[in-house]
Structure 1
Amino acid sequence: MTALGFLYPGHSAEDDYPRMEQLLGSDVRLTVVHTETKESGEDVRSVDALLAMGSAERLAAGVDELRLSGAEAVVWACASGSFVRGPQGAHEQVRALARAAGLPASSTSFAFVRALGEIGAHRVAIGTTFPDDVTGLFAAFLTEAGTEVAAVHGSGAVTDAEAAGWDYGRVLALAREADRPDADAILLPDAALHTVSHLPALEKELAKPVLTANQVSVWEALRLTGRRVNAPGLGTLFTREPVIQA
């Protein structure tokens, strides 16, 4: 049994995790602990709110429960709550989380970077529901990591609750608007979007890999434990042999 732990902000697309657990098989357990997202009246999608949401204190508050669950690794399952700090700040955030948990740790932002390396994607298209300034910070994060951003498409600054209510048609429309012929993969970095049940259909429609926040978070947690799981229901990332870097 491989036990994986996730710190997940709020209660938007949390049901993606039991769905992934089922697709991964009986010997992988995913434990989700919900972190505090905002103060009363705070815009959770502003940069300041995202910085506060990913503070060391808020993340450390959930690690005891993950340790008790037997988790072998922990992932801060929120891209925007990490990449807004920039590469250096995101590294410091992960180091603090690893110290607090006493476990290998990572975040969704770094999961995207490593997943792109896994599938050999160098140019990407990004589709988000974030405000434009937050979306720009994600593009900058990827660029600093050596990824070429071919296109960025934002749907507007919707709330987490709105994003969680999007059906397959709206998620597909977002991905199509973002896509470019020269993009190797399409990235949907919002952990509030329900994407897991749509991955095979999205990749079939778009004819290229699609990476989403909750999907890459689980892949990253498995990577931290040294596990590889073939799970066709979770898209190309979980079926392709890793690219051997020269």
Structure 2
Amino acid sequence: MTTVGFLYPGHSAEDDYPRIEMLLDSDIRLPVVHTDIGEDAHRVDALLQMGADQRLADGVEELRHAGAESVVWACTSGSFVYGWDGAQDQTRALAAAAGLPASSTSFAFAHAVQALGAERVAVAATYPEDVTEYFTAFLKAAGIEVVADRGSGIITAAEVGTWEYEQVLELALAGDHPDAQVVLMPDTALHTAAYLPDLEKALGKPVLTANQVTVWEGLRLVERKVWAPKLGTLFASRE
């Protein structure tokens, strides 16, 4: 059995994780521990507080007791808002607190794009434009070309968590660009686990979503490979 642990801020789309566990259809377990979200706001000052080292460290003991072999901070905005170097510091502090390999959703996106062999991406984000720009800068620091980025102006994760398939599809289509090889949807508050094949079919290209890449990253940390095409192109390779 492989167990990957996740620190998830508040309550929005955490039910993606048991859904992904079911779709993996394997001996993989994905326990989730909820961190204190503080103020639910896609605003830089609030996001910096949300991703503070102590908030994350407070959840690691429960994940260790659950048998986690790696831990991922399942929050994109609460990691990329620190910038590339700051997000690395955040991950190192989390690894030290947990005594386990650690990462975050922001790095998961960078690694997943590289794993797909892509160089040009489009960003379809729920965030306000200024927060979306932080994600774009993070991707550029990873050597990824962002050919288009679209924010949606949504302030709270709670609102994002209510979105259903049609809204998710509309955002993906609006954020796509002809030059993009992959479309990235970076909010872990957005339900997407059930929609990945349909999104990729509609766009005609791979789609990377936050909770999907977060699980993939946790498995990558423990060198566990799994084939699960219902979770999109990222999980469809047998390599």
Q: TM-score range by the shorter chain?
A: over 0.9
Q: What is the CA distance between 1:26 and its match in structure 2?
A: 3.3
Q: Secondary structure at the match of 1:197?
A: coil
Q: Which residue of 2 aligns with 1:189?
A: 186
Q: Is the 8 A contact 2:147 2:177 kept in 1?
A: yes
1:236 lines up with 2:233 in the alignment: yes
Q: Secondary structure at the match of 1:196?
A: coil
Q: Which residue of 2 aligns with 1:199?
A: 196
Q: Secondary structure at the match of 2:54?
A: helix
Structure 1 residues 123, 95: CA separation in 2 closer, same or farther (over 3 Å shift)?
Answer: same
Q: Which residue of 1 aligns with 2:206?
A: 209
CA RMSD of aligned residues (A): 0.9
Rounded to whole Å, the distance in 2 between the matches of 1:87 and 1:185 is 21
1:74 lines up with 2:71 in the alignment: yes
Normalising by structure 1, we get a TM-score of 0.95
Structure 1: which 5+ runs fail to align? none
Paired residue total = 239
Q: Secondary structure at the match of 1:116?
A: helix
Q: After the TM superposition, which residues 48-197 of structure 1 pair with which residues of structure 2 at under 5 Å, given as runs?
A: 48-197=45-194
Could you tell me which amino acid in structure 1 is paired with residue 117 of structure 2?
G
Q: Secondary structure at the match of 1:240?
A: coil
Structure 2: which 5+ runs fail to align? none
Runs of 4+ in 1 over 2 A off after TM superposition: none
Rounded to whole Å, the distance in 2 between the matches of 1:146 and 1:74 is 25
Q: Which residue of 1 aligns with 2:13?
A: 13
String of CA shifts for 1:96-132, please: whole Å, max 9, x gaps: 0000000000000000000001111110000111111
Rounded to whole Å, the distance in 1 between the matches of 2:26 and 2:117 is 29
Q: Which residue of 1 aligns with 2:2?
A: 2
State, as a whole percentage, how many aligned pairs show the same letter: 64
Could you tell me which amino acid in structure 1 is paired with residue 87 of structure 2?
A
